[in-house]
Structures are given as C-alpha cells and as structure tokens.
A and B are shown apart, each in its own frame.
Chain A
Amino acid sequence: MSRGKEGDTAAAEARAASGAEATAGAPSTAEARAPAPDLRLLLPAAALFSGALAFLPALELRPNRVSAGAKAGLAAAAPAMTAALAAALGLVLVLALASAYAARVGASRAGRGRNGAARRSAERRRAGAALFFAAPLPALLLAGLGAGATSRLAGMAQGARASLGAGAWLGLAAALALPSALAPAFGAGAPKARRLAALTAAATAAILAAAGLLDDLSLAREFVARRASFGAEFPRHLAYALFPTLAAFVVAAPLGRAAARSRDWERPVFLVANAAQVIPTLALLGFLVAPLAALGRDVPFFRALGVRGVGWAPASLALFLYALLPVAANARAGFRMVDPAASDAANGMGMGAAGRFFRVELPLASPALVAGLRTALAQNMGNAVLAGLVGGGGLGGILFLGLSQAAADLILLAALGVAAAAYGTDRLLAAAERALARRTAAGAGAPC
C-alpha cells in the first residue's frame, strides 16, 4: 500500500515536472483511506515552490534575444506579487494541514461514529478552500513574472528580453503539482477536483495573457513577433499529424482485422509495420528523399502533385508509415478480443457476413480501434516536428529555426504548441474511447 502510494506520488511529481500534464492522471491510491490531502506530495511541492523562488533567479534579463544576460530574483523584481504568492501558499498549507489533521483524528474517532457526516463536510470545505487558493497559483506566478519583466525592462534598450529562469520553471512545476496533492481530500471526487484546478489555472493564465500582463516576457514577445508564421504553421502541423494518420488508419485497420484471422496476413502486415517503426526517424526520412525525388522528377503524375525529395511528400509518407503499427496492432487485438462464441452464435442464428461484421465484430472492436488511432495520432503530433527537417514547415520549422538561432524562447514557443496539440488530441480521443467502451461494455482493457 505505502509503496503504491509512493509510486503514485513520484508519478505525480514527474507529471508536474514535465509541466504538460500536472493535473490529469491515475486516481490516487490514497482514496482507499480516509480522504485527506497527500502530505507526501504537498510538503515537498511547497518546499520546492518557495525554495526555487527564494534562492534561484526567476528572470533572466538580456540586452537582446540571443545573448546571455543578468539574473534577477522574483522578490526583487516584483515585491508585491511575491508577497501575494507567499500569502496564498501559506493559506494553502495551513488549510491543507488542518484538513489532514482532522482526517487523521476523525479516522481514530470513526469507531464511535460521532457526527461523521457533519465532520466530513467540514473537512471537505477546508480542502475546497485550500484548492481554491492553490489552483490559480501557477497563473499568479506567471503574473508576478510578467510584472517583474515589465518593471525590469523599463530602463533597458528596445530589443531587451526577459526570459524565465530556473527558479521560475521549478516554481511553476511545483505550483502545478499542488492541486494533485490536495485532490485526494475529495475522495471519489479527486479526478474532478484535479480537472477543475487545471481549468482554473489555464483560464487564469489566458485572462492574464489577454489582459497584456504577460506581454513583456520574452516568450510572449516571440509569439507576437511570429504571430503570422505561428498562425500558419500550427494548422499545417495539425494537418501533418492528422491526414497521414487517417490514411494509415484506413489502410492498416482492415489489415489488422485480416491479421487477426489468419497468419498468412499477420506475417507480412506486421513485417512492414514493425520495420517502419524500428527504422530511426532521421534514417527513414533519408531513405525517402532519394526515391521521392526520382518519382517527382520522372513520373508526370507525381510531378503534377508536387512530389519532391524534400517538402510535404517525405514528411507525410514517413508519418503515414509510423502510424501503421499502432493502428494495425490495436485492430488485430480488438478483433481478436471478439468472443468466438459470439461470432459462432451470430453465424448460427443466420446473420449474414455484413451483419456479423457491422453489428457484432465492429462494435466490439471499436474501442481498440479508437485506442490505436489515439496512440498513432498522439505519436504523430510529436513526430510531425520532423517535417521541419525536410523543409515541410509546421511547428518543426519554427523549432529548428530557433535551434539554428540559439533562441531558447522561440524553441520553447514551438515546443509548447506541439505539446498542447498532442495533449489535446490525446484527451479528445481518450474521451471518445471511454464513451465507446461504455457503450460496448467490452473494451475495458484495450492495449496500445
């Protein structure tokens, strides 16, 4: 039990550190006990938050966007906001500790069953208040950083930049982990509490950004400077991920079904799919450049399409090949999971081949099919960066431009776009998968 809980805590910290997925995740094992905040995550997160902001530079002030610069702490750059942050964190700690203490005392009194319901609702109110102050903390920190950047850049030259320093990054990660530590206090409502906290943080940050409070951070300046190109490359990136994956789905899902039924199909299908998966990304692109260049040069049809050794063609083809394995493997697993007795019964009751497929097999395999599509799409949302390497554009183009200029904030901007796209599509399809599994009641454990 305690081992599992430590594992969960570590996982939550890892998620928080990645910064992309601080709030969604596996339900905490702490729910099995009396609902209480998870102090083993809360206290380290709070310590990290205050320590990082107190001792590490939160802002880096540079005379221009690529050169090194001077470091500044948050307290010095934005004293008022720092005080507000400290107050909010203090409130969160006091409320959370009170809630944890009450839960522990309550658990020992539970045998006497005194006012159980009233006590639980009081605890829940305390935990709710703690979450109320913890949820906007990351956005509040961003506001502080924005204010600090504004005040520090005021005396500097036009092209000066204020980037986030190590303290800011660690502080943000710790702040994003706080709701995960508080959520167990809500018992069965923990996932909902985490989701609410994530929404609050995102909405608050969006409002701050819209109000212009973050405008002086270098990230925002990069965005403003590249708004037009970001606006063009983001949809292109989505298209790179989406269309080759859908094409792979159309091709590989039927092949996966064929492989589920006969070894004669399984062998060649997975030979190709596995091969595409294990060839290193850059090598695969390298392999595609020469043949595609020849095709575009010598075959009028492909020339008319605009196929060349560089550009959209090798990028799309590589992404198509990468999507084959997850789609085919999940389709194979999904169609294999169909109960043979159900197929036999369907056959014996006089369902035609089409009826069997559409009314029995497909509904039962559909959660696994969607799981395959989800895996492939999330994977390709990341892989689509490679299009930038072969001149195909997309967010990869921006990212590699940033790399070539050593402009850290430009790289970050592109990476944030990629992460948001991958995370968003994954959540969207996970919801679809859950809905399908509920309907078919069979796809509980669809493998990826």
Chain B
Amino acid sequence: MLEARGVRKSFPRAGARGKAGPAERALDGVSAVFPTGELSVLLGPSGSGKSTLLRLFNRLLEPDEGVLLVDGADARGLDPVTLRRNTGYAIQGVGLFPHMSVAENIAVVPRLLGWDRDRIGRRVRELLEAVRLPASFASRRPRELSGGEAQRVGVARALAADPPVLLMDEPFGALDALTREALQVEFARIQGRLRKTVVFVTHDLAEAVLLADRLFILREGRLLRSGSPRELLAAAGDDFVADFLGARFGIEMLGRESAAAAAEYAGSGPAGGLIASAADLGGAAPLGPEASLRDALARMIAEGRTALPVEGPRGRGLLRIEAIALAGRAAAGAGGNDARR
C-alpha cells in the first residue's frame, strides 16, 4: 500500500534574467491511499500535479511537507536506490537505452540486483512472452522497434525484477490511438494476472476508465475526488469533476461493462417469455461472451437495431438498448460484471 499524507511540493519557477522567481505550487496538501493490488489512476489536466505525486513515491522528488508511506514505512527512511530497484517505473518517453539490446534493457534492474545469468535469461524470455513480443526481439536494438513495441519493452523492463509496486507516468501517451488501445487492453490483462500495486498517471479519460480500479481526480495540486469509476459516475460530487469527466464518462464506462452480464435470459427477467422467440432477431449474429456494452452499442448503431442476441455463459440471451442506458446505475455497487477480467 502506498499512502500520501498532507503532501506539499513547490518548484522554483525560472524568473526574469535567470533569477529564481516565485515558487510554483505543484502539490497543495494531498492525502491519498493507493491500495495493494489495485490499479490507481491519477487523472487530471496538465499542471494538476499528478506526475509530481507519482515521482515522490520513488523519491525522484522529495516533498516540502507531509509524509509518504510505502507499506507503512516512511519513504524518507528508505535508501532511494533500493527503493527504486524495488519499484517498477515506466514513462511516456519509454527511455530505452539505445546502446543496449532489448534483452539488456529488460535486464537492467535484475543485473543491478545481482541476479545470475540463467535467471536473467529466463526472466527476459518470460517477460517478452508476457508483453507478446517474439523471443527473437531479445537481440534487437531499440531503434529497430516501433513506438508500440518499444513501450511493450518499457513495460517489460518495469516488471523485470517483479517489483510489488509499479509507477507509470503516461506510458501510452505518445502512441497512436490503435496501438494505445491494444497496449491498454494488454496491460489490463497483465495486471489482472499479476495484481501489482499500480499508480498510473494519465490525462486520457478513456484510458483512465478502462484501466482504473480507483480514480483520483486532481486539479491544481489538490485531490478533488477519489473512488471507483462507478462511484464517480453515480456521484461526481464536485462541479469541476462533473465537468472534467463530462458526458463522455458514461460512454467510456460502457467499454468495461460486459454485454453478457447486462443481457436478459429466458426465465430470469420481466420479459422472460419473449427471449426464446426473439433470440435470433432476424438472423443478427450474436455478441460473444467477451463483448463489452460499447461493442454492443456500436453494433446496434451500425445495424439499426434496438436489441441484439448475446452468447453468454448462461446460454443465449437478449440485450436491449435500455439495458445499456441503465448499465451504469444498475451496476453501481453490484461489481463483478467487469468485462476486463
């Protein structure tokens, strides 16, 4: 568990003629808890202090005031080098070392930790597989990689020594939309398996909603609101948060809701009797068990339908457009119907 208590941090602003100007406040009394095994997303406009907060946790920055706790221990009491070697770190620029091969890049922290060669070799192969890169990439140079491939290596490098904590600063920010989405889904899958304690900085609402177990909305160095995406959808609780999340928030939420879970099945709903007869809906192809409500809505719009058959774990069901509209409410607090895992 990571925790910030009353953290303040200012940076000297460069004034005229190279003299130090008035200090710029990046964090203004932030307290937050990032639970073990959860993916916490810091979301906010640029200048809101989210990267600053992240970089306090591996002591790349030191707070002016307040305390940072790593598993209950004051970060100031920990050796920064040891702390960093036990904390995965992935950044927007990736920062692969151009003079090292992919394998050497991934092996940096294990080597710093003094692992033996066989163990490092095994680990590199494991990680390349985990981020879905062919084993032959091990000997490539970073300049031979596409942006998406480089960031896959960046994620593998952050995971190399199997650190319990992962700090990620807009890791997918520089990628094109398609590659970004593929990596987000990939990373959600990896995180579903590894359950690291992740702090993830982004200003991309869709990414935040897709990945977050918990959202932390920051603005001008203050934490405005935190909670699960559903909690925030149900009650923004703040004009800025409502504005910032905006109308798109509900649409983005559909991306993580399972279509199969929102469908009606024979004998279970008020329309139970209709299901059997409506299930073929004039020959419409059924949605698969993996489909999200966003996929379902896209199909409905494309095909001009208000309902679609669903192939769910409980058999053939029927998904109506009303169920999509109500999904956010109905599901609030229900949990468990998350399309990601």
Given A351-B112, A441-B143, A346 and B95 contact (CB-CB distance below 8 Å): yes
Q: Is B141 an interface residue (CB 8 A)?
A: yes
A350:B60 contact, CB within 8 angstroms: no
**Interface flags, A341-369, vs B, CB<8A=1, else 0:** 11111111111100100011001100000
Q: Determine the distance from Cα of A9 to Cα of B314 in the docked complex, in whole angstroms.
A: 79
Q: Which of B18, B85, B91 contacts A350 (CB 8 A)?
A: B85
Q: Which of A263, A350, A439 contacts B84 (CB 8 A)?
A: A350
Given A341-B91, A345-B89, A350 and B99 contact (CB-CB distance below 8 Å): no
Hey, which chain A residues are within 8 Å of B143, CB to CB? 441
Hey, which chain A residues are within 8 Å of B85, CB to CB? 349-350
Q: Taking the nearest CB of chain B, how far is it from the CB of A442, in angstroms?
A: 4
A349:B89 contact, CB within 8 angstroms: yes
Q: Is B139 an interface residue (CB 8 A)?
A: no
Q: Is B97 an interface residue (CB 8 A)?
A: yes
Q: Determine the distance from Cα of A280 to Cα of B91 in the docked complex, in whole angstroms.
A: 50
Q: Is A440 an interface residue (CB 8 A)?
A: yes
B93:A341 contact, CB within 8 angstroms: yes
Question: Closest chain A residue to B109 by CB distance?
Answer: A349
Hey, which chain B residues are within 8 Å of A111, CB to CB? none
Given A350-B82, A350-B84, A352-B81, A440 and B98 contact (CB-CB distance below 8 Å): yes
Hey, which chain B residues are within 8 Å of A363, CB to CB? 99
Chain B residues bordering chain A, tally (CB within 8 A): 28
B98:A339 contact, CB within 8 angstroms: yes
Q: Is A340 an interface residue (CB 8 A)?
A: yes
Hey, which chain B residues are within 8 Å of A346, CB to CB? 95, 97, 108
Question: Closest chain A residue to B82 by CB distance?
Answer: A350
Q: Is B83 an interface residue (CB 8 A)?
A: yes
Q: Determine the distance from Cα of A346 to Cα of B97 in the docked complex, in whole angstroms.
A: 9
Q: Is B94 an interface residue (CB 8 A)?
A: yes
A339:B99 contact, CB within 8 angstroms: no
Given A440-B99, A441-B143, A348 and B112 contact (CB-CB distance below 8 Å): no
Q: Is B52 an interface residue (CB 8 A)?
A: no
A348:B58 contact, CB within 8 angstroms: yes
Given A340-B93, A344-B93, A349 and B108 contact (CB-CB distance below 8 Å): yes
Q: Taking the nearest CB of chain A, how far is it from the CB of B58, in angstroms?
A: 6
Interface residues in A321-340 by Cβ distance below 8 A to B read 339-340
A364:B98 contact, CB within 8 angstroms: yes
A439:B99 contact, CB within 8 angstroms: yes
B93:A441 contact, CB within 8 angstroms: no
Hey, which chain B residues are within 8 Å of A340, CB to CB? 93
A348:B84 contact, CB within 8 angstroms: yes
Hey, which chain A residues are within 8 Å of B99, CB to CB? 363-364, 439-442
A351:B58 contact, CB within 8 angstroms: no
**Interface flags, B98-109, vs A, CB<8A=1, else 0:** 110000000011
Question: Closest chain A residue to B54 by CB distance?
Answer: A348
Hey, which chain A residues are within 8 Å of B154, CB to CB? 345
Given A347-B60, A350-B82, A360 and B97 contact (CB-CB distance below 8 Å): yes
Q: Taking the nearest CB of chain A, how far is it from the CB of B302, in angstroms?
A: 40
Hey, which chain A residues are within 8 Å of B108, CB to CB? 346, 349, 351
Q: Determine the distance from Cα of A341 to Cα of B60 in the docked complex, in whole angstroms.
A: 13
Hey, which chain B residues are within 8 Å of A345, CB to CB? 89, 91, 93-97, 154, 157
Q: Taking the nearest CB of chain B, how far is it from the CB of A282, in angstroms?
A: 38
Q: Which of A347, A350, A359, A442 contacts B98 (CB 8 A)?
A: A442
Q: Taking the nearest CB of chain A, how far is it from the CB of B110, in angstroms?
A: 11
Hey, which chain B residues are within 8 Å of A441, CB to CB? 98-99, 141-143
**Interface flags, A144-174, vs B, CB<8A=1, else 0:** 0000000000000000000000000000000
Question: Closest chain A residue to B113 by CB distance?
Answer: A350
Question: Closest chain B residue to A436 by CB distance?
Answer: B99
Hey, which chain B residues are within 8 Å of A360, CB to CB? 97
Most A C-beta atoms less than 10 A away, residue of B58, B89, B91, B92: B89
Hey, which chain B residues are within 8 Å of A359, CB to CB? 97
Most A C-beta atoms less than 10 A away, residue of B82, B91, B95, B143: B95
Q: Which of A339, A440, A442 contacts B95 (CB 8 A)?
A: A339
Q: Determine the distance from Cα of A341 to Cα of B94 in the docked complex, in whole angstroms.
A: 7
A344:B95 contact, CB within 8 angstroms: yes
Q: Taking the nearest CB of chain A, how far is it from the CB of B80, in angstroms?
A: 8
Hey, which chain B residues are within 8 Å of A344, CB to CB? 60, 91, 93, 95
B93:A263 contact, CB within 8 angstroms: no
Interface residues in A114-144 by Cβ distance below 8 A to B read none
Q: Determine the distance from Cα of A278 to Cα of B123 in the docked complex, in whole angstroms.
A: 56
B97:A342 contact, CB within 8 angstroms: yes
A350:B112 contact, CB within 8 angstroms: yes
Hey, which chain B residues are within 8 Å of A350, CB to CB? 80-85, 109, 112
Q: Determine the distance from Cα of A347 to Cα of B58 in the docked complex, in whole angstroms.
A: 10
Q: Taking the nearest CB of chain B, how far is it from the CB of A125, in angstroms?
A: 37
Q: Taking the nearest CB of chain A, how far is it from the CB of B53, in angstroms?
A: 15
Hey, which chain A residues are within 8 Å of B96, CB to CB? 342, 345
A355:B112 contact, CB within 8 angstroms: yes
Hey, which chain A residues are within 8 Å of B157, CB to CB? 345, 349
Q: Taking the nearest CB of chain B, how far is it from the CB of A17, in angstroms?
A: 39
Q: Taking the nearest CB of chain B, how far is it from the CB of A354, in angstroms?
A: 11
Q: Determine the distance from Cα of A441 to Cα of B145 in the docked complex, in whole angstroms.
A: 13
Spell out A's residues near B (CB within 8 Å): 263, 339-352, 355, 359-360, 363-364, 439-442
> What would be 16 A-B contacts, judged by CB atoms less than 8 Å apart?
A341-B92, A342-B95, A343-B95, A344-B93, A345-B95, A348-B60, A348-B167, A349-B84, A349-B89, A349-B157, A350-B82, A350-B85, A350-B112, A364-B99, A439-B99, A440-B98
Further 15 A-B residue pairs, CB within 8 A, beyond A345-B89, A349-B89: A339-B93, A341-B92, A342-B98, A343-B95, A346-B108, A347-B60, A348-B58, A348-B60, A348-B91, A350-B81, A350-B84, A364-B97, A364-B99, A441-B99, A442-B98
Spell out B's residues near A (CB within 8 Å): 18, 58, 60, 80-85, 89, 91-99, 108-109, 112, 141-143, 154, 157, 167
